[in-house]
C-alpha cells in the first residue's frame, strides 16, 4: 500500500485512540503523543480539522489539552474537546443500553468504560481474552436489533445503528465542498468513515497499523501519523 500523499486544501478528520494517542491497557490513561497537541493547534490555524472518536467528548477533554472541534460517541455527539452537550438518545435507546449494561458478564479483568449514556467493555486485561470474547458475544446476541455491537481492539461497545463516524464525516465534508477530506484512523469503526468518503474526488483515507482495510493508504503507527501531519506545517 502506497505512502499517503500530501493533499492540497485539506479537511482533516483524525481518530484519537491508536492514531493521536498510543493504545494502552487503561483507556483512562490514553494520553496523546507528546507532539500531538501542539501539531493539532498549528494545523487548526491553517485548515479545518475535526477529531473523531468513540469516546464521550467530556472524557476526551480530560485527556487532550488542546481545544479542537470533535465528533464523539461514533457520530452521536458533536462539539469540541472542551465543550460538548450530552448526546440526545430516545427513551427506547436509553432503556436498552441501561438493561444491557446491567447484564454485562462477570469476567475477571473486564473494565467497563462509562460514556454516558452508553459504555464500552474492555477485555484486554482479562485472564483469558478468548473466553471473555466468547462470553461477550453471547451477551451481545441478546441486544435489541436497533443496537449494533462494535468490536475493536479487545473492546466491544453498543451503538444505535444510525450513529456512525461515516455519516458524521460525510455531513461535515458536505459543508466544505472546496476542501479535500483526509481521514486517519486505526480501528474497525473508522472503516465506516473510509467507505463514506470513498466517492469524494481526491479524498485521502489512511489506515494506521495492520489489518484489513478499505482505506487507500497506510501508516505504521502513531509516530508516523505525527510525522505525516507535521508535513503540512
Q: Which one from 15, 186, 190, 192 is the annotated catalytic residue?
A: 15
User: What is d(CA 183, CA 187) in angstroms, rounded to the nearest whole number?
Assistant: 12
Please tell me whether residues 25 and 59 are part of one structural domain: yes
- 140: domain CATH number? 3.90.1070
Domain interval for residue 100? 91-160
Please tell me whether residues 171 and 130 are part of one structural domain: no
Tell me which of 101, 125, 160 is where a domain ends.
160
pTM exceeding 0.75: yes
Please tell me whether residues 82 and 14 are part of one structural domain: yes
- 15: domain CATH number? 3.40.50.1000
Tell me which of 128, 160, 192 is where a domain ends.
160
Active site residue 15: yes
What are 159-216's pLDDT values in tens digits? 888 888 999 999 999 999 999 999 999 988 899 999 999 999 999 999 999 999 999 9
Residue linked to cell 454485562: 104
pLDDT of residue 1: 67
Per DSSP (E only), the strands in the chain are: 10-15, 49-52, 69-72, 77-80, 111-115, 118-122, 147-151, 155-160, 180-185, 204-208, 217-219
User: Which residues of the chain fall short of a pLDDT of 50?
Assistant: none
Amino acid at each position: 500500500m502506497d505512502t499517503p500523499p500530501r493533499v492540497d486544501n485539506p479537511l482533516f478528520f483524525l481518530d484519537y485512540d491508536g492514531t493521536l494517542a498510543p493504545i494502552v491497557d487503561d483507556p483512562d490513561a490514553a494520553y496523546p503523543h507528546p507532539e500531538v497537541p501542539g501539531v493539532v493547534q498549528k494545523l487548526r490555524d491553517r485548515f479545518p480539522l475535526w477529531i473523531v472518536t468513540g469516546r464521550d467528548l467530556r472524557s476526551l477533554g480530560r485527556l487532550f489539552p488542546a481545544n479542537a472541534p470533535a465528533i464523539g460517541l461514533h457520530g452521536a455527539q458533536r462539539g469540541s474537546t472542551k465543550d460538548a452537550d450530552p448526546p440526545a438518545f430516545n427513551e427506547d435507546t436509553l432503556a436498552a443500553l441501561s438493561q444491557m449494561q446491567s447484564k454485562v458478564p462477570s469476567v475477571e479483568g473486564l473494565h467497563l468504560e462509562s460514556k454516558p449514556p452508553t459504555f464500552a467493555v474492555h477485555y484486554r486485561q482479562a485472564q483469558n481474552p478468548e473466553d471473555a470474547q466468547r462470553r461477550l458475544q453471547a451477551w451481545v446476541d441478546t441486544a435489541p436489533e436497533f443496537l449494533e455491537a462494535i468490536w475493536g481492539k479487545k473492546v466491544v461497545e453498543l451503538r444505535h445503528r444510525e450513529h456512525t463516524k461515516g455519516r458524521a464525516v460525510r455531513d461535515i465534508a458536505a459543508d466544505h465542498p472546496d476542501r479535500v477530506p483526509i481521514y486517519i484512523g486505526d480501528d474497525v469503526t473508522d472503516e465506516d468513515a473510509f467507505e463514506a468518503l470513498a466517492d469524494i474526488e481526491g479524498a485521502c483515507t489512511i489506515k494506521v497499523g495492520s489489518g484489513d482495510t478499505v482505506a487507500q493508504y497506510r501508516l505504521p503507527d502513531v509516530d508516523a501519523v505525527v510525522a505525516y501531519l507535521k508535513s503540512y506545517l
